[in-house]
Amino acid sequence: MIKSILVPLDGSPFAEQALPWAACLAKVCGAHLELVRVHDPVPPWTIATEGAVAATTVDPTIRDAEEQYLANCAARLEEGGFTGVTRKLIEGDVVEQIACHAEDNAFGLVVLATHGRGAISRLWLGSVSDALVRRLTVPVLLIRPTEGTAVPRAERFRKVFVALDGSKESESAIAPALALADPKGCEVVLLRVVPPVPIVGDAGMSAAMPVDDTLTKALVEQAETYLEGVAARLRGPTVKVTVRVVVEPGVAQAVLHEATLAGAELVALATHGARGLRRMVLGSVADKVLRGADRPVLLTRVPERG
């Protein structure tokens, strides 16, 4: 059960596209909603050109403007019927301070707008969302901004798509996804992608290696058994669970394709916080899915092993 939702903002209309999603989810979940912004201190060149005294005079003005910005965002939400919204201006490193604020105050969900493709995806809420996903232990719902200002329906997700890799770690994505699903009735689709197993031959063989059908089939059967075991634990009077195993070399592409075919409203994945080989439970899959998805993606940090 999600009791509180945090929305980081940077002053841009782009970042604000996370607001209607967060507000609607907060309303249907009965959760508290808070808006947070990290104070943008006086740039070093101001101190160099105008002196420390002048910079000290400028800083309160910047703070006041940032406080007013958060107040305006909260007021717009309240005008739309979303009451009880709080706001917080914090200071320091953007990623570290947002993460600490979310964790220290036990927020159940962080909602961010994020770009998908292209160089613009590395702007504030591209690079920051990337870093937050690795740093946060709180589940992160990433929203792809769209044209216009359409507000999503105030309801929970009714069709949730969870990609698993057969590990307990990847199952960390399930509980947060169910917390956002409609308790009155939802469908959960569990997907496992099995890459075809190539037959290893001589060095002189062509690049397109033949597939070991026997071993690939065995892995498919193993995946089906695994998913059915997970599904059995989740099924209930209001929760319908279906399983899907596909054989594809490109895992991320398969996840995106299958989510579209299923008509999923939410795609959920688990991630590791570390960089390098341990960056994602599914390797680079979560990152590729996030960049290619045209629907909300929920990323959940895998608990660190003790």
pLDDT for the residue numbered 122: 39
pLDDT for the residue numbered 111: 95
d(CA 256, CA 145): 18
CATH architecture of 4-143: 3-Layer(aba) Sandwich (3.40)
First to last CA, the chain: 25
Q: Pick the residue with more confidence: 121 or 153? A: 153
d(CA 194, CA 220): 7
The answer to whether residues 30 and 2 touch, using CB atoms and an 8 Å cutoff, is: no
Q: Which amino acid is at 246?
A: V
d(CA 111, CA 102): 11
pTM of the model: 0.85
pLDDT for the residue numbered 211: 86
Common-topology check for domains 4-143 and 159-301 = yes
Question: At residue 143, does pLDDT exceed 50?
Answer: yes
d(CA 273, CA 172): 13
12: CB partners within 8 A, 6+ apart: 124, 125
d(CA 19, CA 3): 17
Q: What is the mean pLDDT of the chain?
A: 83
User: Going along 43-85, which residue ranges are E strands?
Assistant: none
What does the pLDDT look like over 185-215, one tens digit per residue?
Answer: 999 999 999 999 988 755 555 556 788 899 9
Sequence-ordered alpha helix ranges (H) in 117-270: 124-135, 174-179, 213-234, 251-262
User: Going along 92-220, which residue ranges are E strands?
Assistant: 109-113, 140-143, 159-164, 186-194
pLDDT for the residue numbered 281: 46
Residue 55 — very low, low, confident or very high, per pLDDT cuts 50/70/90? Answer: low
Chain centroid to Cα 124, Å, comes to 16
What does the pLDDT look like over 162-181, one tens digit per residue?
Answer: 999 999 999 999 999 999 99
Mean pLDDT value of segment 257-286: 74
Q: Which CATH class is domain 159-301?
A: alpha beta
Domain locations in the chain?
4-143, 159-301
pLDDT for the residue numbered 144: 80
Tell me which of 29-38, 149-158, 283-292 is least confident: 149-158
Mean pLDDT value of segment 77-94: 91
Mean pLDDT value of segment 142-147: 76
